[in-house]
């Protein structure tokens, strides 16, 4: 048995709560070990705020030992042998040694308690997570070579990969997530098992798949994790729109395919994220996922022109719909779905600016349509430039620099982030002497269009334009002058 200090890795100093727990369980006559990810993280030079322990004590014993020590505890995982608690800012889970068996057609394990630490470690997903620190002796238990594999940057399973993935198919996605988070590669036998068993991911709930996907996308090198999903065939089930991009030739013929282009855009988007106090703090899932999905509309819109060129007309709009559909299937929340799909829809809006230039009204529309996503749209648009033609890249960068400068200049003159007509719904009804109804909405949209085209008007200008517009409406001839009622639904959202 090795002592933790014998490792060649630099070991982070252990929090006091770990030693305290070890002494409590030893005094009560039970074994206790820090296990899994927290042990792995010690070798990576970091301490997680979430600490996992395993023990030969049963749940009732765990509660009896810790209830006076911890700040609070909960029993939601009792049926799986897990008692959760919080102490000094750490979230702690202590689980009785387990020996799990899975029904091949079920998403949930059948749990049986065990009595040996080594058996508990064998059931874990990967060797780098199958290490334990026996407490309070600080002895490293590593029966399956986790330190070796962590040092070599290789993902292996304690037993046969096929058995591990059959027990819990989500472990295949977790391997891809580790490729993203830790920069590791999977062993050949692990990759082969992923390819052979990719279809088993379908028995996993959409919510669990979504959670792993978010962790992957938010990792250090998400393009590596995505590539593993695609190459193993897992993406055919969880992100088929991305897998389909491998078949599409980029219209500029500058990349192997649209798939490789999309991975490049994802990498470049990550590079444009900011620090914690910046406009788009890293990691930003919305920006990253939009970068990955921005061209998924191309397979459905590909057309071969008579000149030999390839076109993807309206792939932005089609891609936005496909993105929203996929995210709904993965049970993302509505706000995240709307944000990502909106970025996909807007990612082509900039092109043409450098050639023809935009009027002030076009710049206002760009800002208004992007809304709170503007800073992400800036980064997505810049990331989408992957051409190897240096002159073209410089021209596009210069054009976008110019656009951002114009946005900043206009923002100094106008409140671009919240452009509204110069008259609200109540003022429209007062001026025209009409009641709430569809006509008010039409008048509001007319004034909004005028505001977009011409910017803020002089006092009285909006009233004159509205009266002129009203005279051209069929309702004006038959509408008697009426006092506006005190309330009405037509003004909602217009003030």
> pLDDT tens for residues 145-204?
999 999 999 999 999 999 999 989 999 999 999 999 999 999 999 999 999 999 999 999
Tokens of 17: 């709560």
Query: Is the domain of 408 the same as that of 436?
Result: no
Query: Is the domain of 288 the same as that of 324?
Result: yes
> The domain containing residue 34 runs over which residues?
2-152
145: domain CATH number? 3.30.460.10
Which range has the worst mean pLDDT, 100-104, 382-386, 389-393?
100-104
> Of the candidates 386, 413, 440, which is a domain's last residue?
413
407 falls within a domain: yes
Question: In sequence order, which residues have a C-beta less than 8 Å from that of residue 275 and are 6 or more positions away?
Answer: 281, 282
- Residue 167 class from Cβ within 10 Å (0-12 exposed, 13-18 middle, 19+ buried)? middle
Q: State the Cα–Cα distance between residues 190 and 194, nearest whole angstrom.
A: 6
pLDDT tens-place string over residues 193-245: 999 999 999 999 999 999 999 999 999 999 999 999 999 999 999 999 999 99
What is the average pLDDT score of the chain? 86
According to DSSP, the β-strands at 50-55 and 109-113 are unpaired
pLDDT tens-place string over residues 406-423: 888 777 665 555 567 777
Q: Tell me what pLDDT residue 437 has.
A: 83
> Of the candidates 364, 386, 413, which is a domain's last residue?
413
Query: Is the domain of 383 the same as that of 459?
Result: no
- Of 467, 374, 470, the closest CA to residue 419 belongs to 374
185 falls within a domain: no
Q: Is residue 254 over pLDDT 80?
A: no
pTM: 0.79
Query: Is the domain of 394 the same as that of 429?
Result: no
Query: Is the domain of 302 the same as that of 406?
Result: yes
249 falls within a domain: no
Query: Is the domain of 54 the same as that of 102?
Result: yes
Angle (nearest 5°) at CA 278 between 277 and 283: 95
Q: State the Cα–Cα distance between residues 113 and 98, nearest whole angstrom.
A: 4
Query: Is the domain of 337 the same as that of 472?
Result: no
How many domains, in total, are found in the chain? 3
pLDDT tens-place string over residues 35-47: 999 999 988 888 8
Which residues are registered as beta bridge partners of 102?
109
Query: Is the domain of 393 the same as that of 427?
Result: no
- Residue 130 class from Cβ within 10 Å (0-12 exposed, 13-18 middle, 19+ buried)? buried
Across 342-349, average pLDDT: 94
Q: State the Cα–Cα distance between residues 443 and 466, nearest whole angstrom.
A: 7
Q: Tell me what pLDDT residue 425 has.
A: 82
pLDDT tens-place string over residues 22-31: 999 999 999 9
- Residue 391 class from Cβ within 10 Å (0-12 exposed, 13-18 middle, 19+ buried)? exposed
179 falls within a domain: no
């Amino acid at each position: 048995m090795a002592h933790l200090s014998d490792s060649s890795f630099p070991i982070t100093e252990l929090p006091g709560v770990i030693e305290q727990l070890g002494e409590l369980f030893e005094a009560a006559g039970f074994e206790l070990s820090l296990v899994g990810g927290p042990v792995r993280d010690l070798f990576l030079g970091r301490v997680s705020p979430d600490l996992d322990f395993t023990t030969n004590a049963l749940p009732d014993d765990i509660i009896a030992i810790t209830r006076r020590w911890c700040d609070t505890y909960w029993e939601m995982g009792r049926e799986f042998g897990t008692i959760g608690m919080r102490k000094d800012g750490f979230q702690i889970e202590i689980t009785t040694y387990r020996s799990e068996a899975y029904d091949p057609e079920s998403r949930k394990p059948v749990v049986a308690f065990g009595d040996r630490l080594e058996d508990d470690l064998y059931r874990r997903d990967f060797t780098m997570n199958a290490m334990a620190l026996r407490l309070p002796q600080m002895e490293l238990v590593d029966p399956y070579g986790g330190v070796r594999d962590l040092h070599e940057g290789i993902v292996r399973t304690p037993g046969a990969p096929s058995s591990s993935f059959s027990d819990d198919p989500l472990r295949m996605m977790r391997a891809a997530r580790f490729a993203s988070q830790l920069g590791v590669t999977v062993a050949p036998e692990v990759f082969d098992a992923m390819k052979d068993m990719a279809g088993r991911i379908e028995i996993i709930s959409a919510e669990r798949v979504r959670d792993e996907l978010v962790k992957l996308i938010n990792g250090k090198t998400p393009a590596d994790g995505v590539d593993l999903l695609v190459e193993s065939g897992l993406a055919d089930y969880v992100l088929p729109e991305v897998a389909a991009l491998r078949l599409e030739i980029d219209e500029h013929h500058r990349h192997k395919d649209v798939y490789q282009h999309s991975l490049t855009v994802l990498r470049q988007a990550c590079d444009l994220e900011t620090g914690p106090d910046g406009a788009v703090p890293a990691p930003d899932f919305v920006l990253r996922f939009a970068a990955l999905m921005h061209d998924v509309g191309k397979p459905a819109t590909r057309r071969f022109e008579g000149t030999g060129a390839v076109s993807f007309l309206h792939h932005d709009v089609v891609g936005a719909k496909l993105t929203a559909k996929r995210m709904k299937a993965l049970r993302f929340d509505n706000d995240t779905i709307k944000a990502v799909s909106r970025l996909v829809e807007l990612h082509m809006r900039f092109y043409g600016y450098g050639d023809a230039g935009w009027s002030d009204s076009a710049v206002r529309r760009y800002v208004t349509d992007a809304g709170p996503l503007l800073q992400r749209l800036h980064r997505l648009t810049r990331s989408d430039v992957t051409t190897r033609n240096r002159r073209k890249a410089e021209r596009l960068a210069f054009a976008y620099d110019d656009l951002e400068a114009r946005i900043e200049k206009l923002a100094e003159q106008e409140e671009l982030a919240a452009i509204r007509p110069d008259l609200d719904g109540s003022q429209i009804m007062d001026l025209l002497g009409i009641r709430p109804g569809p006509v008010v909405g039409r008048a509001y949209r007319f004034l909004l269009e005028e505001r977009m085209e011409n910017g803020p008007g002089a006092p009285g200008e909006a009233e004159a334009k509205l009266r002129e517009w009203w005279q051209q409406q069929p309702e004006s001839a038959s509408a008697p002058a009426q006092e506006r009622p005190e309330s009405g639904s037509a003004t909602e959202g217009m003030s």
